[in-house]
Structure 1
Amino acid sequence: MSRTVLVAGVGMIPFTKPGASDDYHVMGANAARAALADAGVDYALVEQAYVGYVYGDSTAGQAAIYGVGLTGIPVVNVNNNCATGSTALFLARQAVASGAVECAIALGFEQMVPGALKGAYEDRPAPLARFVDVMRDIQGVDAAAPRAAQFFGGAARDYLKEYDIRPDTFGRISVKARQHAARNPFAVFRNTVTLDQVMASPAVFDPLTRLQCCPPTCGAAAAIVCSEAFAKKYGLDTRVAIRAQAMTTDRNSTFDEGDMRKVVGYDMTHAAAQTVYEAAGVGPEDIDVVELHDCFTANELITYEALGLTPEGTAEKFILDGDNTYGGRVVTNPSGGLLSKGHPLGATGLAQCAELVWQLRGQAQDRQVSGAKLALQHNLGLGGACVVTLYERQ
């Protein structure tokens, strides 16, 4: 049997540029303490910890969580590329839903360095080698351009080829992201930008410019999940529940269909979203607020359609009509998203969780989406993994 799982507490620290943060174990411990304080839970009551990071040695999770306490609980280290934080949440939720534990913590952190993402090892096959081979077959590989930008820039090109939209449509997503981030004290970039500034910023990989790419970021975030019985026993906040959640990985379509949109996870996203909608008995039209994985503007645009927020081929109209922001149909990335809030890989999924919990509680201050009852989270990692989570205000 699967029990209802509540998000009793969330916490995060302000995200920063590389070199401006505390060390990873300090950031992680601070975010964990913030989540525990928000929940009003003593760490001694937490039965398991799932700790996510991408750039760190084995048992870095223990190094961080030991700063909160030494209680002897299982600590599971998680690394699932950019979907790491939501994978930690997925595992913590499963532990509670199954009845294995009554209360668990999911924690994510990242201490990044400047520049494009790079693998740690050069003496063995790279996990993304198959993806690079497919990209080479579709569009070639540019040795001078960042690899991630080539993946997602290629997805933008395939979208442009099929639907013939204006290239600056992607840039409008960055403008929206900065407008939202200006209201978020946790965001790296809080200054607004114009469309002209976005499009005139240095080219990274056509059609993407620098201001359409998320920055390397340091930060941490955490969530406390528990059963309803546990929450009632200790008088915890029961307002926010995880109503449905799904995690998907790649299928043949990623590699066999010659479409960069599929290479970067369109089908994983669509499958996870459909599973969540069916499990919850709702549709995308019921969603009030979304935190989605906008590592590049191209991914936000194609994800609108993969999540069903707008029909295929209509993302440009969705953007131009303002249906992706306040006053429109569904507010996307009120936090500023990865583009402007920042993207510390292991922390991103839990930072998304924190934002949506605050939205459903009515605690998002200047970012508040009025009357939000259903919130959707989408967190994607190449390699690949996608986690979609539906939160409900009870």
Structure 2
Amino acid sequence: MLRLPSQWLSRSLQAARPISTQPTRRAPAAPLGPGKERVFVVGVGMTKFSKPLGSDGPTYTDMAKEAVSNALSDARLPYEAIEAANVGYVFGSSTRGQRSLYEMGLSGIPISNCNNNCSTGSTALFQSRGLVAGGLARCTLALGVEKMQKGALEVGAEENPNPLDKHVLGMAKCVGGPPDAPIAPWLFAHAGREHSKRYGTTKTQYARVAEKNHRHSVNNPNAQFQDEYTLDQILGSKEICHPLTKLQCSPTSDGAAAVVLANEEFVKVNGLQDKAVEIRGISMTTDVSTVFDDPIQLIGYDMAVKAADEAYQQAGLTVADVNVVELHDCFSTNELIMYEALGLCNKGEGGSLVDSGNNTYGGRYVVNPSGGLISKGHPLGATGLAQCTELTWQLRGEADKRQVSGASVGLQHNLGLGGAAVVTLYTKYQ
């Protein structure tokens, strides 16, 4: 959870320039095409996610080595097969990506570092996939690693302007007052309140999202939390910012995840057809001109809609083809609202989707079989690649007790405020 110092907020509320919500007139841009090469996930690996352990836990290099080693072992490849790498993390010094991969060897390959807030892992995936799709490399690596501090995330007062200043000020303008809780739950709680005001969504429906994800996590050995809670326990846990209680919020976490990508020729030459899951469509979008218009837009609704539309178009698929979803449930309110942005239901029907059971086993979709961010954990740089890892296991039929019967098309949504949304569609190798 993100917390801003009071002196920064006070200064910003008094002195910030007015926020323009007027649309910028531009010719519509076509989404990025699929590139000249088909791209396949051929190896995935991750660490168990855990609460931040500081000096008592593994270092970021330890976690990175474990995740990359697992992914390479899964792909039956040596590190020398990797031709380029992109490494994502939010907290840490420059070139942490190089230091992480130097544990695997010094091969001289290009290594880039990226930070896109909570969508960092999927940004590394987007970049590594682009190298393969564009014909610049045959086999690449995406790594996400994060070692976090306990409690709400602090943003230093010295940053001016702060990257989230317009989002905080926009929400304060929408709701008629400054934050009265840590920034992240405050933003997502008010989006939930707005959804309730418009569509009658109840706090019980939001809590049912968390109940589902905690229940799913029981079968995930990599999850930070693997406990099942009743609906009453979730509603009765400590309130963070109405309607969100503690058990509806993702925790700070340590962890790493890695993905090996390859083109079709590489897959065939190395006999990796049994491992290959195709990235059929992927889109990364940033905030659009409507972002400051209301609380739901401020948490990335429209950029998620745009990313989803572009990914479906690239893939030649529709939401009707999807059966398993890993969705960015940083808070239960966000999961419910994003059902609508991703097309899993019509606008205003997220609460009805929850009540119908069509977001869990036996329903139309299984959303967050991993337990999601709420239970699996949320080490910011690793989250998107852990989502990719889970969907790869699901489409291969390797998800053990979490396995979604008949899983053939996976949908991934990863969100970073400030902002970026990455939506990815996966299918089995054909």
> Which ranges in structure 1 are unaligned for 5 or more consecutive residues?
none
1:253 to 283, 290, 301: 290
* 1:285 maps onto 2:317 in alignment: no
Q: Shift of the alpha carbon at 1:158?
A: 0.6
Q: Shift of the alpha carbon at 1:262?
A: 0.5
Amino acid at match of 1:7: V
Q: Could you say what secondary structure the match of 2:291 adopts? A: helix
Give distance in 1, aligned partners of 2:349 and 2:264.
41
Give distance in 2, aligned partners of 1:217 and 1:141.
30
* 1:222 maps onto 2:236 in alignment: no
Partner of 1:320 in structure 2? Answer: 355
Give distance in 1, aligned partners of 2:49 and 2:156.
23
Partner of 1:5 in structure 2? Answer: 39
Question: Is the Cα contact below 8 Å between 1:141 and 1:150 reproduced in 2?
Answer: no
Give CA deviations for 1:137-169 in whole Å, capped at 9, x if unaligned: 011455541100011001001100101122111
Partner of 1:242 in structure 2? Answer: 279
* 1:271 maps onto 2:306 in alignment: yes
Q: Shift of the alpha carbon at 1:119?
A: 2.1
Q: 1:89-168, aligned counterparts within 5 Å?
A: 89-120=125-156, 122-168=158-204
Give CA deviations for 1:111-154 in whole Å, capped at 9, x if unaligned: 01111122256243211111111011011455541100011001
Q: Could you say what secondary structure the match of 2:363 adopts? A: coil
Give distance in 1, aligned partners of 2:106 and 2:396.
31
Give distance in 2, aligned partners of 1:379 and 1:121.
27
Q: Shift of the alpha carbon at 1:314?
A: 1.2
Give distance in 1, aligned partners of 2:223 and 2:157.
31
Give distance in 1, aligned partners of 2:157 and 2:379.
20
Give distance in 2, aligned partners of 1:286 and 1:323.
14
Give distance in 2, aligned partners of 1:121 and 1:26.
31
Question: CA, structure 1 residues 11+120, in 2 after alignment: closer, same or farther (shift >3 Å)?
Answer: farther
Question: Is the Cα contact below 8 Å between 1:269 and 1:307 reproduced in 2?
Answer: yes
Q: Scaled by the length of structure 2, what TM-score is found?
A: 0.89
Question: Is the Cα contact below 8 Å between 2:179 and 2:186 reproduced in 1?
Answer: no
Give distance in 2, aligned partners of 1:42 and 1:121.
45
Partner of 2:243 in structure 1? Answer: 207
Give distance in 1, aligned partners of 2:99 and 2:157.
23
Give distance in 1, aligned partners of 2:85 and 2:245.
39
Question: Is the Cα contact below 8 Å between 2:267 and 2:276 reproduced in 1?
Answer: no
Q: Shift of the alpha carbon at 1:239?
A: 3.3
Q: Shift of the alpha carbon at 1:2?
A: 2.1
Q: 1:52-71, aligned counterparts within 5 Å?
A: 52-71=88-107
Partner of 1:78 in structure 2? Answer: 114
Amino acid at match of 1:240: V
Give distance in 2, aligned partners of 1:313 and 1:261.
12
Q: Superposition RMSD on alpha carbons, in Å?
A: 1.1
* 1:16 maps onto 2:50 in alignment: yes
Give distance in 2, aligned partners of 1:76 and 1:156.
36
Give distance in 1, aligned partners of 2:360 and 2:107.
44
Partner of 1:371 in structure 2? Answer: 406
Q: Shift of the alpha carbon at 1:190?
A: 0.4
Give CA deviations for 1:92-123 in whole Å, capped at 9, x if unaligned: 00000000000000000100111112225624
Partner of 2:85 in structure 1? Answer: 49
After the TM superposition, which segments of 4 or more aligned residues of structure 1 sit over 6 Å from their partners? none
Give distance in 2, aligned partners of 1:390 and 1:133.
34
Partner of 2:221 in structure 1? Answer: 185
Give distance in 2, aligned partners of 1:248 and 1:116.
27
Question: When the two structures are aligned, how many residues end up with a matched partner?
Answer: 392
> Which ranges in structure 2 are unaligned for 5 or more consecutive residues?
1-34
Q: Could you say what secondary structure the match of 1:134 adopts? A: helix
2:382 to 347, 363, 369: 347
1:333 to 368, 371, 374: 368
More moved, 11-20 vs 153-162: 11-20
Question: Is the Cα contact below 8 Å between 1:49 and 1:106 reproduced in 2?
Answer: yes
Q: Shift of the alpha carbon at 1:23?
A: 1.0
Amino acid at match of 1:24: Y
Amino acid at match of 2:286: T
Question: Is the Cα contact below 8 Å between 2:323 and 2:407 reproduced in 1?
Answer: yes
Amino acid at match of 1:374: V
Q: Shift of the alpha carbon at 1:286?
A: 1.1
